[in-house]
Amino acid sequence: MEVVLTHNEPINTEECPKPEKSHKRSKISRDVETDIELLYKAVPQIGKVFRIIDKIGEGTFSSVYLGEAQMHDGSRQKFALKHLIPTSHPTRIAAELQCLTLAGGQENVMGVTYCFRKEDHVVIVMPYLEHKAIVDIISSLSFEEVRLYIYNLLRALKHIHQFGIIHRDIKPNNFLYNRKTKEYALVDFGLAQGTADTQIDLLKDLSGLRKVQRPVFGERNINSCTQVSATTKATSAQTEFVKVAKAEDPANRRYLSAGRGSAALKSQGANQKPQRAVPLGVTCSCFQTDRVCNICLSRKQQIAPRAGTPGFRAPEVLTKCPNQGTAIDVWSAGVILLSLLSGRYPFFKASDDLIALSQIMTIRGSRETIQAAKAFGKSIVCSRELPRQDLRVLCETLRGHRPSPDDDDYVTPLPQNNGTVSGKPPIPDETPTHRPIEEQVKPEDTYDNTSLHTGHMETEQWDGGWGGVPDEAYDLLDRLLELNPAKRITAADALTHPLFTDLIQLT
Ligand code: ADP
Ligand code: MG
Ligand code: ZN
């Protein structure tokens, strides 16, 4: 048993508080109860310090619990206990901890209080930040809250990027937000990687591990020449390997044969040679067809990091560009801003990297995407041209602030294909107009946008500031969602963007 102390002994290990019946979370399921028992058994030290109240998160690589400890001054404090799956690589675990200890506890980055280990079980103890899932609050967020949320996310990104940490999994689930206290915390360094000059030593050690990296759990590898059938249901995209013997073009390739109305995509490394020996002179004929031949199947996969969540992945990640930097986190922040401005979460829902890429093209334009990819050494073929969308028109249409499809001057926000964007009409509870009454109260710290209204403020319900979103918001969005990572704004520069003029002195 090892207890690593990273903080000034705040916890009284003598008196473990007795379970309280009155706790509002006392109704936990059998499964959760069983998991809590198993955790107490796996790491008995936990039970001496904490009373575990509930499970608050469950992912592929960890389970997170809410625990309570009695402090020396008699008060009780809540903590989040992250139990990592026992199969996690020790260096991976140590790197996650090092990110939290060195960069955490400041600038909206979660800190760490303790770490327990018994055999292969590791539990990271962090201060608990109460928060709600973004999907539950998105419809009631005011524009000012969105502006502050993005500002605070960018602060966390600037901070970790200064340490040479690439988070790689920036999404609302990993950026906790407490609406009442206006606290924010970036969590989950489980996929983090270091830049070339990272200050996190253990992230350097991870680069050795990456060479033997397994495909990310639960996701298909699209690295080999892979046929993807995107159907109208985003979730039913399938991969089929078709055995074909003839050959013609030896290039390393992939092909997306899209279903109804969607764009077909092919992306290939312009500078990469196939890594597994395909006999010289042997060519294949699957180029630009919807099959994958054995020759292409036998090509060795190109290794490039691609951890993260498809809908938040930057174009350079989706196309497996080997040189990825902190700009990938900035792209993800852009996707979050797009989601919050349009009121749709998730915005991109992709089960596959090429579907995700086609979804990006529907917003940012196919020609623009192809051109940007060329700049980072990737060649993409798209079967049809998708125009670049005006971001304000797109967001306002999705928010219902612009004419609907029944109106004459309706602007098609998105191609109606393969579930590209979560384009279905919002369910009533998520629509801004159906916001619960108590949420419609204008927050005290809201920035004054009354000048943008035309005098109906007293009689009309406040619209959350959505009627007067300034151009700066869409300008920042445009810069965050810059397709070429070399041109994409950095988190540090984004913080000085005119959208945040009134906040700059606080940084
Ligand atoms: P995973 O690697 O499994 O995604 P995370 O570190 O992202 O693990 O934690 C999963 C979830 O647990 C988060 O999305 C969040 O809801 C919750 N969580 C994690 N850390 C904290 C914390 N310090 N305070 C409150 N909730 C937390
Ligand atoms: Mg997470
Ligand atoms: Zn082939």
Which of 12-26, 182-196, 242-256, 419-433 ranks highest by mean pLDDT?
Answer: 182-196
Segment among 1-5, 222-226, 303-307 with least mean pLDDT: 222-226
Arithmetic mean of pLDDT, 356-383: 95
* Stronger pLDDT, 46 or 209, i.e. the higher one: 46
Q: By three-state DSSP, how is residue 227 classified?
A: strand
Q: How many CB atoms lie within 10 A of CB 381?
A: 18
Predicted confidence (pLDDT) at residue 155 exceeds the cutoff of 60? yes
Predicted confidence (pLDDT) at residue 80 exceeds the cutoff of 60? yes
- Which pLDDT band, with edges at 50, 70 and 90, does 409 fall under? low
Long-range contacts of 247-250 (CB under 8 A, 24+ apart): 247/282, 247/283, 247/284, 247/285, 247/293, 247/295, 248/283, 248/284, 248/285, 248/287, 249/283, 249/284, 249/285, 249/287, 250/274, 250/278, 250/282, 250/283, 250/284, 250/295
Arithmetic mean of pLDDT, 184-205: 96
Q: Amino acid identity of 181?
A: T
Is residue 129 in contact with ligand 1, taking CB distance under 6 Å?
yes
Q: Which atom of ligand 1 is nearest to the CA of 62?
A: 3
- Which ligand is nearest the CA of 188, by number? 1
* Stronger pLDDT, 424 or 303, i.e. the higher one: 303
> Which residues share a beta bridge with 239?
228
Predicted confidence (pLDDT) at residue 310 exceeds the cutoff of 60? yes
Count Cβ neighbours within 10 Å for each residue of 92-102 and write b for 16 or more, e otherwise: bbbbbbbbbbb
Segment among 239-243, 346-350, 415-419 with least mean pLDDT: 239-243
Predicted confidence (pLDDT) at residue 221 exceeds the cutoff of 50? no
Measuring CA to CA, which residue among 402, 405, 386 is closest to residue 394? 402
Q: What is the DSSP letter of 386?
A: -
Contact 52, 67 (CB under 8 A): yes
- Which pLDDT band, with edges at 50, 70 and 90, does 60 fall under? confident
What local confidence, expressed as pLDDT, does residue 465 receive?
A: 97
Question: How many A from CA of 176 to the centre of ligand 1?
Answer: 8
- Which pLDDT band, with edges at 50, 70 and 90, does 102 fall under? very high
Q: For strand 121-127 and strand 62-70, is the pairing parallel, antiparallel, or unpaired?
A: unpaired
Pocket test for ligand 1, best of 7, 55, 89, 187 (most atoms within 8 A of CB): 187
Predicted confidence (pLDDT) at residue 9 exceeds the cutoff of 90? no
User: How far, in Å, are 243, 355, 383 from residue 258 at the CA level?
Assistant: 19, 9, 9
Nearest CA, atom 16, ligand 1 = 57
Segment among 10-14, 139-143, 175-179, 217-221 with least mean pLDDT: 217-221
Q: How many CB atoms lie within 10 A of CB 203?
A: 24
Nearest CA, atom 15, ligand 1 = 57
Question: Among this protein's residues, is 448 annotated catalytic?
Answer: no
- Which ligand is nearest the CA of 64, by number? 1
Segment among 135-144, 239-248, 344-353 with least mean pLDDT: 239-248
Predicted confidence (pLDDT) at residue 443 exceeds the cutoff of 80? no
> Which residues share a beta bridge with 115?
4, 124
Nearest CA, atom 12, ligand 1 = 57
- pLDDT above 90 covers a percentage of the chain that reads 59
Is residue 82 in contact with ligand 1, taking CB distance under 6 Å?
yes
**Pairwise CA distance, residues 389 & 395, whole Å:** 10
How many residues are there in the chain?
A: 507
* Stronger pLDDT, 445 or 360, i.e. the higher one: 360
**Pairwise CA distance, residues 481 & 494, whole Å:** 12
Is residue 62 in contact with ligand 1, taking CB distance under 6 Å?
yes
Pocket test for ligand 1, best of 35, 63, 64 (most atoms within 8 A of CB): 64
CA-based radius of gyration for the chain: 24
Predicted confidence (pLDDT) at residue 290 exceeds the cutoff of 90? no
What local confidence, expressed as pLDDT, does residue 247 receive?
A: 31
Q: Which atom of ligand 1 is nearest to the CA of 126?
A: 23
22: tokens are 């009155």
Segment among 54-58, 179-183, 236-240, 478-482 with least mean pLDDT: 236-240
Arithmetic mean of pLDDT, 450-476: 76
- Which pLDDT band, with edges at 50, 70 and 90, does 410 fall under? low
What local confidence, expressed as pLDDT, does residue 287 receive?
A: 73
Q: Which atom of ligand 1 is nearest to the CA of 61?
A: 3
- Which pLDDT band, with edges at 50, 70 and 90, does 408 fall under? low
Q: Which residues surround ligand 3, an ion (CB under 5 A)?
A: 284, 286, 293, 296
Is residue 187 in contact with ligand 1, taking CB distance under 6 Å?
yes
Q: What is the DSSP letter of 423?
A: -
Question: How many A from CA of 310 to the centre of ligand 3?
Answer: 25
Q: Which atom of ligand 1 is nearest to the CA of 128?
A: 24
- What is the helix, strand, coil percentage profile of the chain, to 5? 35, 15, 50
Question: How many A from CA of 212 to the centre of ligand 3?
Answer: 25
- Which pLDDT band, with edges at 50, 70 and 90, does 289 fall under? confident
- Which pLDDT band, with edges at 50, 70 and 90, does 505 fall under? low
Question: How many A from CA of 88 to the centre of ligand 2?
Answer: 15
What local confidence, expressed as pLDDT, does residue 74 receive?
A: 96
Q: Amino acid identity of 434?
A: H
Measuring CA to CA, which residue among 409, 357, 410 is closest to residue 386? 357
**Pairwise CA distance, residues 360 & 332, whole Å:** 12
Is residue 150 in contact with ligand 1, taking CB distance under 6 Å?
no
Question: How many A from CA of 96 to the centre of ligand 1?
Answer: 13
Arithmetic mean of pLDDT, 238-255: 29
**Pairwise CA distance, residues 343 & 76, whole Å:** 37
Type and span of the H or E element at 56:
strand 50-58
pLDDT digits (tens, 9 = 90+) for 19-58: 444 444 557 899 999 999 999 999 999 999 999 999 999 9
**Pairwise CA distance, residues 10 & 78, whole Å:** 12
Nearest CA, atom 14, ligand 1 = 173
Is residue 57 in contact with ligand 1, taking CB distance under 6 Å?
yes
Question: How many A from CA of 303 to the centre of ligand 3?
Answer: 19
Q: Which residues surround ligand 2, an ion (CB under 5 A)?
A: 174, 188
What is the average pLDDT score of the chain?
78
What local confidence, expressed as pLDDT, does residue 207 receive?
A: 80
Q: Amino acid identity of 98?
A: Q
- Which pLDDT band, with edges at 50, 70 and 90, does 304 fall under? confident
Question: How many A from CA of 296 to the centre of ligand 3?
Answer: 4
Is residue 338 in contact with ligand 1, taking CB distance under 6 Å?
no
What local confidence, expressed as pLDDT, does residue 210 receive?
A: 61
Exposure on the CB side of residue 482, measured as CA atoms within 13 A: 16
Is residue 80 in contact with ligand 1, taking CB distance under 6 Å?
yes
Predicted confidence (pLDDT) at residue 499 exceeds the cutoff of 90? yes
Predicted confidence (pLDDT) at residue 85 exceeds the cutoff of 60? yes
- Which pLDDT band, with edges at 50, 70 and 90, does 404 fall under? low
- Which ligand is nearest the CA of 82, by number? 1
- Which ligand is nearest the CA of 288, by number? 3
- Per annotation, catalytic residue among 169, 329, 353, 463: 169
- Which ligand is nearest the CA of 241, by number? 3
318: tokens are 């989706």
- Which pLDDT band, with edges at 50, 70 and 90, does 448 fall under? very low
Segment among 71-80, 336-345, 405-414 with least mean pLDDT: 405-414
Q: What is the DSSP letter of 186?
A: E
Measuring CA to CA, which residue among 39, 57, 56 is closest to residue 48? 39
Q: What is the DSSP letter of 106?
A: B
